[in-house]
Chains A and B, each alone.
Chain A
């Protein structure tokens, strides 16, 4: 059965931690993690509630395979209403925390209310206790992690924590676990901090039992691992270069958002690429990349462990940053680099460390700094706002300064922490914000990859690449190559990716497996572990039900079809170079067909028929 069938309900107002049985009817409809937790959220909160008020809830949820021996089965998600977008937020993280939570006997934790004073939740298997965290408040994620490990004298305890940025109300703060893994997007960490919850520290030694058919599960898992090992992407490319292998690819195809998405190619891309991370540097002969790293049970190990050049201006006087830590992934390298015009690999690595240390989402942070740079260059803000800092594109010192300010929320950091949309509105230039539904774009320009335009416009959590990664097909040829500049067929492609991804995100597995696995590889693993029959077709159905449920929540929260759009820059200003030169994103050619495929009205509303087909709650 794989689920532990038990969740923990933590009422922060009352200070109580009460176990309750998992709703298995919902688990059968929504599988786990993203889907199942969204079902609970929809049931339990008013979609119009204040995301940072006591009425919002925050759920940490594992999937049925989390904590098992399946490859990459260490994932958990944080589900809540986002303070950045007002939509449903669901941020997925790896590392070891999720598996530990499952090993402690919990499928999920629902946090409700707000604690009168800072607390952390300590879980040791069945024992869950809220503990005072006054001494931890005001500390970074890394300091808190160290203090909790020291206090409990348990090096194997796994910790998820929010940093100072979240405490200060930064609207794009992440929940950081295992020091440098993040439930990164949509401000889920901000919600956690708003509840005066500093950390969740877990030790689980119960193991994950209840596998429906252990022998079949082991053989399905082994078959899956063989596929990953033999696939050149998951067996070779990702371990060697990580996601950063994409920097040069996406630049070459002319889909690299540059300088707040004013351009689609960055002249400095090669200097901040995965290949550049392997180059020995002049000062000490060592490359930026020390080694790769993997999350719990992962046989891909795409993670980057890096160092910064000790001679670099950012860390010269700061030996605390001289050691190994989580290095640049493609999304961080793009947002911190190309989007701000900064091509200094060490500066980007330093800022990435700060994002992990104090829990800023590097995508939203980088994209917001890029917007601030355009505001600065256009005269909407000046050195009076920035303590004299020349916040111009390409200024690596300014980028590092901005990260230090964002981490603590001091001075101009408080402005950055509003996120791009609110920042640009504040300074009277809303059109400079590169966001959808208030969330900043990731690393693919939809003028050069048309399907991603539809992906962004319709994503249930605002601009996001992980809701339907059509880049895989349109650029990388996985599983099949499609033309990135064509709009035909993209509505169906986006829908198929959205549905399959929602299912994978609800299983406990990492979406990166899908570069090698199809649902035909995943379904036997779920089917052998979980009660019931879990065919690929059923997983697609579950995925689609999740998508509809998320959409329904958003509609009830006040989002409408008119929010399924892109910034005018991407719809009106043509790409200036590369294969997409002269093209804009033709969203209008794809959106009506997409609505039709989803069973929605022409203005993007769910129909009664669609609601009943997926048995959505009223």
Chain B
């Protein structure tokens, strides 16, 4: 299945050169975990602070679970960030 994978802020350098608007499309196995995706893009797990699937937060303990992603999902990841 295909999902959209996005990295932002100081993690955006980890994206391949063909990324557009901080996003790449990736082909993944249905059983893929969020940690596997995070590892695949060379993002240190401790830097993956905000992990959102279709805008909803996934906590650290959910990132090793399989079956959390479906075709067309959007995974977006930030390091610790804040603003005001």
A residues neighboring B (CB under 8 Å): 231-233, 236-238, 240-246, 248-249, 252-254, 270, 274-275, 302, 329-331, 465-466, 469, 472, 475-478, 481, 483, 511-512, 515, 578-579
The answer to whether residues A476 and B82 also contact, given A252-B52, A579-B56 and a CB cut-off of 8 A, is yes
Q: How far does the alpha carbon of A275 sit from the alpha carbon of B81 in the complex, in Å? A: 13
Query: Contact between B82 and A472 (Cβ–Cβ < 8 Å)?
Result: yes
The answer to whether residues A237 and B80 also contact, given A253-B55, A254-B55, A579-B56 and a CB cut-off of 8 A, is yes
B45–chain A nearest beta-carbon distance, Å:
14
Q: How far does the alpha carbon of A253 sit from the alpha carbon of B52 in the complex, in Å? A: 8
Residues of B with C-beta under 8 A to A240: 9-10
B63–chain A nearest beta-carbon distance, Å:
13
Instruction: Flag whether B57 is at the interface (Cβ < 8 A).
Output: yes
Query: Contact between B52 and A275 (Cβ–Cβ < 8 Å)?
Result: no
Q: How far does the alpha carbon of A331 sit from the alpha carbon of B59 in the complex, in Å? A: 27
User: Please, which residue of chain B has its CB at the minimum distance from the CB of A254?
Assistant: B55
The answer to whether residues A274 and B59 also contact, given A237-B81, A477-B49 and a CB cut-off of 8 A, is no
Query: Contact between A476 and B81 (Cβ–Cβ < 8 Å)?
Result: yes
Q: Interface 1/0s, chain B 1-38, versus A by CB < 8 A?
A: 00000101110100000000110000000000000000
B residues neighboring A (CB under 8 Å): 6, 8-10, 12, 21-22, 47, 49-50, 52, 54-57, 59, 74, 76, 78-84
B5–chain A nearest beta-carbon distance, Å:
13
Q: How far does the alpha carbon of A330 sit from the alpha carbon of B81 in the complex, in Å? A: 13
17 residue pairs from A and B, CB less than 8 Å apart: A231-B80, A232-B49, A232-B80, A237-B9, A237-B81, A245-B81, A246-B81, A248-B8, A248-B76, A252-B6, A253-B56, A275-B22, A330-B83, A477-B57, A478-B82, A481-B57, A512-B82
Query: Contact between B10 and A476 (Cβ–Cβ < 8 Å)?
Result: no
Residues of A with C-beta under 8 A to B47: 232
Q: Binding site of A, secondary structure by majority: helix, strand, loop or mixed?
A: helix
Query: Contact between A275 and B55 (Cβ–Cβ < 8 Å)?
Result: no
Contact of A245 among B21, B54, B83 (CB under 8 A): B83
Query: Contact between A236 and B12 (Cβ–Cβ < 8 Å)?
Result: no
Q: How far does the alpha carbon of A483 sit from the alpha carbon of B52 in the complex, in Å? A: 12
Query: Contact between B80 and A249 (Cβ–Cβ < 8 Å)?
Result: no
Residues of A with C-beta under 8 A to B80: 231-233, 237, 476-478
Given contacts A240-B10, A253-B55, 9 further A-B contacts (CB under 8 A): A233-B82, A237-B81, A244-B83, A245-B8, A245-B78, A249-B78, A252-B52, A253-B52, A477-B50
Query: Contact between A252 and B12 (Cβ–Cβ < 8 Å)?
Result: no
Closest 7 CB pairs of A and B: A243-B83, A246-B83, A515-B82, A232-B80, A579-B55, A237-B81, A270-B21
Q: How far does the alpha carbon of A233 sit from the alpha carbon of B49 in the complex, in Å? A: 11
User: Please, which residue of chain B has its CB at the minimum distance from the CB of A330?
Assistant: B83
Query: Contact between A233 and B81 (Cβ–Cβ < 8 Å)?
Result: yes
Query: Contact between A241 and B81 (Cβ–Cβ < 8 Å)?
Result: yes
Query: Contact between A238 and B82 (Cβ–Cβ < 8 Å)?
Result: yes
Query: Contact between B84 and A249 (Cβ–Cβ < 8 Å)?
Result: no
Query: Contact between A249 and B50 (Cβ–Cβ < 8 Å)?
Result: yes
Residues of B with C-beta under 8 A to A330: 83-84
Q: How far does the alpha carbon of A270 sit from the alpha carbon of B54 in the complex, in Å? A: 16
Residues of B with C-beta under 8 A to A245: 8-9, 78, 81-83
Residues of B with C-beta under 8 A to A243: 83-84
The answer to whether residues A252 and B84 also contact, given A232-B79, A241-B9, A270-B22 and a CB cut-off of 8 A, is no
B67–chain A nearest beta-carbon distance, Å:
19
A180–chain B nearest beta-carbon distance, Å:
16
Residues of B with C-beta under 8 A to A329: 83-84
User: Please, which residue of chain A has its CB at the minimum distance from the CB of B52?
Assistant: A252
Residues of A with C-beta under 8 A to B10: 236-237, 240-241
User: Please, which residue of chain A has its CB at the minimum distance from the CB of B78?
Assistant: A249
Query: Contact between B50 and A476 (Cβ–Cβ < 8 Å)?
Result: yes
Residues of A with C-beta under 8 A to B79: 232, 236-237
Query: Contact between B81 and A578 (Cβ–Cβ < 8 Å)?
Result: no
User: Please, which residue of chain B has its CB at the minimum distance from the CB of A271?
Assistant: B21
Residues of B with C-beta under 8 A to A231: 80
A553–chain B nearest beta-carbon distance, Å:
25
User: Please, which residue of chain B has its CB at the minimum distance from the CB of A240?
Assistant: B10
User: Please, which residue of chain A has its CB at the minimum distance from the CB of B47?
Assistant: A232
The answer to whether residues A252 and B57 also contact, given A237-B82, A330-B83, A476-B82 and a CB cut-off of 8 A, is no
Q: How far does the alpha carbon of A90 sit from the alpha carbon of B57 in the complex, in Å? A: 34
A182–chain B nearest beta-carbon distance, Å:
14
Q: How far does the alpha carbon of A512 sit from the alpha carbon of B82 in the complex, in Å? A: 9
Residues of B with C-beta under 8 A to A253: 52, 55-57
Residues of B with C-beta under 8 A to A252: 6, 52, 55, 74, 76
Q: How far does the alpha carbon of A38 sit from the alpha carbon of B50 in the complex, in Å? A: 38
Residues of B with C-beta under 8 A to A302: 83
Contact of A274 among B9, B49, B76, B84 (CB under 8 A): B9
Residues of A with C-beta under 8 A to B21: 270
Query: Contact between B9 and A275 (Cβ–Cβ < 8 Å)?
Result: yes
Query: Contact between A511 and B84 (Cβ–Cβ < 8 Å)?
Result: yes
Residues of A with C-beta under 8 A to B81: 233, 237, 241, 245-246, 249, 476
B50–chain A nearest beta-carbon distance, Å:
7
Most chain A CB within 10 A, of B54, B55, B57, B81, is at B81
Q: How far does the alpha carbon of A254 sit from the alpha carbon of B57 in the complex, in Å? A: 12
Query: Contact between A481 and B22 (Cβ–Cβ < 8 Å)?
Result: no
The answer to whether residues A242 and B22 also contact, given A249-B8, A252-B76, A275-B9 and a CB cut-off of 8 A, is no
User: Please, which residue of chain A has its CB at the minimum distance from the CB of B20?
Assistant: A270
B49–chain A nearest beta-carbon distance, Å:
6
User: Please, which residue of chain A has its CB at the minimum distance from the CB of B74?
Assistant: A252
Residues of B with C-beta under 8 A to A249: 8, 50, 78, 81
Q: How far does the alpha carbon of A478 sit from the alpha carbon of B57 in the complex, in Å? A: 14
The answer to whether residues A248 and B22 also contact, given A237-B9, A477-B49, A481-B57 and a CB cut-off of 8 A, is yes
Q: How far does the alpha carbon of A252 sit from the alpha carbon of B4 in the complex, in Å? A: 13
